[in-house]
Amino acid sequence: MQEIYKQVFVLFMFFAIMTPLERLFALRREQKIFRAGWRTDVVHFLVDRFLIDAGSAVLILILMVFWHWIVSPDFQAGVAAQPFLLQFFEAVLVVDIIGYFYHRWTHTSPFLWKIHSVHHSPTQMDWLAGARIHPLDQIFHRAVTFVPLYALGFTKETFGAYLVFGAIQALFIHSNVRFRFGFLRWIVATPEYHHWHHSRDPEAQNKNFAGQLPFLDWIFGTAYLPKNKRPQAYGISEPMPPGYWAQLKYPFANK
Ligand SMILES: [Zn+2]
Ligand SMILES: [Zn+2]
């Protein structure tokens, strides 16, 4: 029960920090704080974490049985002996390269798209919209990215730091802010960069798949970050049910 209180506290912390930021530097000033679908996204924020933690722990344990022997203990000890910051940056790189291809796959596989489209369904972007994700989407993403991290020997501290960084950054890149970040926008994912991934504009379809490192899209030919333009509209062409349970069931519904 304690954990749910913690999650409620984190929700209020984000609300207290992000709401003034979005008011002061709004990309879309007309957008309401309590926009359509905010209640569903609050439930995603509060509940998904527990499903994701439980589901990914089980899946990672199963996968590790097959994976642990792939990397030698000497190599693992070498990785773990590196300074914390170096490990952290390496972990971001490993997760993002694998995550990039997993994310591209979710946009081409019909079943994975049904799961992933829950995340793409908000028609208005703000920090809370980033919480709308089907737990299976995140469980699969963690399984394919964290198992290699474990196998390579990264320490618990690196995982912990990555989880905190990833959670904050995931919400920030959805926020309704107009910052541009100069050349940094090609190095670290920003709201401007990730908003294009959610856009319905034809020229931005299947672009900007990286989670943290936009230059991966540049390397693999899927980058879209025009200088003086912003997305016209967000969302998906399929209808998405508005409620939390309906969204959880959506990938398994018959139509
Ligand atoms: Zn996507
Ligand atoms: Zn997103």
C-alpha of residue 228 to centroid of ligand 2, in Å: 21
Instruction: Per-residue pLDDT tens, the chain, 255 aa: give them.
Output: 689 999 999 999 999 999 999 999 999 999 999 999 999 999 999 999 999 999 999 998 888 887 767 778 899 999 999 999 999 999 999 999 999 999 999 999 999 999 999 999 999 999 999 999 999 999 999 999 998 998 899 999 999 999 999 999 999 999 999 998 889 999 999 999 999 999 999 999 999 999 999 999 999 999 999 988 999 999 999 999 999 999 999 999 876
C-alpha of residue 175 to centroid of ligand 2, in Å: 10
The count of other CB atoms within 10 Å of the CB of residue 69 is 10
Closest CA to 250 of 145, 154, 119: 119
C-alpha of residue 33 to centroid of ligand 2, in Å: 18
DSSP class per residue in 226-253: -TT---S-BS-SS---SSHHHHHHGGGS
C-alpha of residue 237 to centroid of ligand 1, in Å: 14
Closest CA to 198 of 189, 187, 206: 206
C-alpha of residue 130 to centroid of ligand 2, in Å: 6
Ligand at shortest distance from the CA of 133: 2
Residues pairing with 234 in the sheet = 199
Residue 137, both tokens:
């989407």
Task: Record the pTM.
Answer: 0.94
Phi, psi of 234 (to 5 degrees): -120, 160
C-alpha of residue 71 to centroid of ligand 1, in Å: 31
Query: How far is the C-alpha of 27 from the C-alpha of 122, rounded, in Å?
Result: 16
Query: How far is the C-alpha of 28 from the C-alpha of 32, rounded, in Å?
Result: 9
C-alpha of residue 114 to centroid of ligand 2, in Å: 15
Ligand at shortest distance from the CA of 236: 1
Query: How far is the C-alpha of 186 from the C-alpha of 217, rounded, in Å?
Result: 9
Closest CA to 146 of 243, 80, 44, 63: 63
| Structural contact between residues 122 and 132, judged by C-beta atoms closer than 8 angstroms | yes
C-alpha of residue 209 to centroid of ligand 2, in Å: 9
